[in-house]
Amino acid sequence: GAVVSQHPSRVICKSGTSVKIECRSLDFQATTMFWYRQFPKQSLMLMATSNEGSKATYEQGVEKDKFLINHASLTLSTLTVTSAHPEDSSFYICSARSDRGGGYTFGSGTRLTVV
Amino acid sequence: DQQVKQNSPSLSVQEGRISILNCDYTNSMFDYFLWYKKYPAEGPTFLISISSIKDKNEDGRFTVFLNKSAKHLSLHIVPSQPGDSAVYFCAASNTDKLIFGTGTRLQVFP
């Protein structure tokens, strides 16, 4: 089946620094990738949709200058949290949809802690 | 505005019995519904889905029912097993985007 690899699985960074999270589709090409954030005991909230070769579409309330998304190839999307603050501490999950159609495959998530 | 809701934050079921997880939605344009299982610090794992043209889909121990008039879907797990203990999310879509519910923590005890 389709596999999405996400790393790092957890990262601790200092306030004010930037963190990059990678999401790779291993055995399929993903024309569209999605980035979610989950706070403790809450739902997965869609942050943005990225399409290969074009700008990401951000959901309302998500700062595009803070959460930089790059989808430069059909197998890789990255989320960079810039100038991270403690309130950005969360669980970030990517998802990809194969260019052959079908369902959504999720990465294993990244636990970000900003200290 | 929570378009997909799971009103029960938790559910406890004895092993071997049926688990019923419920989900309500408000957007009548949703045409595809999914259930995911999630463990802490892991990504969601797909369980089962249903298109809006159907009212039931079954896969092994898992059955999803869709009631479009009530904008309600449910996931039945029978028989429940201790390994089913996790958080279950329903999700809905009418485009590429998935909108998730708030999740229900299922605990199956021996």
- What's the first-to-final CA gap in chain A, in angstroms? 37
**Neighboring chain A residues of B44 at a CB cutoff of 8 Å:** 44, 93, 106
pLDDT score recorded for residue A101: 59
Residues B39 and B86 sit within 8 Å (Cβ to Cβ): yes
Beta bridge mates, B86: B106
Measured from the Cβ of residue A3, the count of other Cβ atoms closer than 10 Å reads 12
Contact B43 A93 (CB under 8 A): yes
Average pLDDT over every residue of A1-14: 92
For A54-84, how does the pLDDT look when each residue is reduced to its tens digit (9 = 90+)?
889 999 999 999 999 998 888 999 999 999 9
pLDDT score recorded for residue B64: 98
Q: Is the pLDDT of residue A102 over 70?
A: no
**Given B97, B99, B103, which is nearest A49 (Cβ)?**
B97
Average pLDDT over every residue of A90-96: 94
**Neighboring chain A residues of B2 at a CB cutoff of 8 Å:** 43
Numbered residues of chain A with Cβ closer than 8 Å to any chain B Cβ: 4, 6, 9-10, 32, 34, 36, 41-46, 49, 91, 93, 95, 97, 103-109, 111
Q: For B83, phi and psi rounded to 5 degrees?
A: -70, -10
pLDDT score recorded for residue A81: 97
User: What 3-state DSSP class applies to B30?
Assistant: coil
Mean pLDDT taken over chain A: 91
C-alpha span between B32 and B49 (Å, rounded): 7
C-alpha span between A93 and A89 (Å, rounded): 13
Q: Is the pLDDT of residue A98 over 80?
A: no
C-alpha span between A107 and A64 (Å, rounded): 21
Contact A43 B41 (CB under 8 A): no
Measured from the Cβ of residue A38, the count of other Cβ atoms closer than 10 Å reads 21
* A101: CB partners within 8 A, 6+ apart: none
Q: pLDDT-based confidence at A30, cuts 50/70/90?
A: confident
Question: Which of A57, A60, A104, A108 has the highest number of chain B CBs within 10 A, making it the mutation to test binding with B?
Answer: A104
Question: Which of A44, A49, A91, A105 has the highest number of chain B CBs within 10 A, making it the mutation to test binding with B?
Answer: A44
Contact B46 A43 (CB under 8 A): no
Q: For B14, phi and psi rounded to 5 degrees?
A: -80, 145
**Given A45, A97, A109, which is nearest B96 (Cβ)?**
A97
pLDDT score recorded for residue A28: 87
Average pLDDT over every residue of A34-54: 89
Q: pLDDT-based confidence at A114, cuts 50/70/90?
A: very high
User: What 3-state DSSP class applies to A86?
Assistant: helix
Minimum mean pLDDT among A31-40, A57-66, A86-95: which range? A31-40
Q: Quote the percentage of chain A above a pLDDT of 70.
A: 95
Q: pLDDT-based confidence at A35, cuts 50/70/90?
A: very high
Beta strands in B27-85 (DSSP E): 32-38, 45-51, 56-59, 62-67, 72-77
Residues A106 and A4 sit within 8 Å (Cβ to Cβ): yes
C-alpha span between B94 and A28 (Å, rounded): 23
Q: Using 50 as the pLDDT threshold, list the residues of chain B that sit under it.
A: none
Minimum mean pLDDT among A35-44, A97-106, B21-30, B73-82: which range? A97-106
Q: Is the pLDDT of residue A100 over 70?
A: no
Q: pLDDT-based confidence at A29, cuts 50/70/90?
A: confident
Q: How far is CA A47 from the centre of its chain?
A: 8
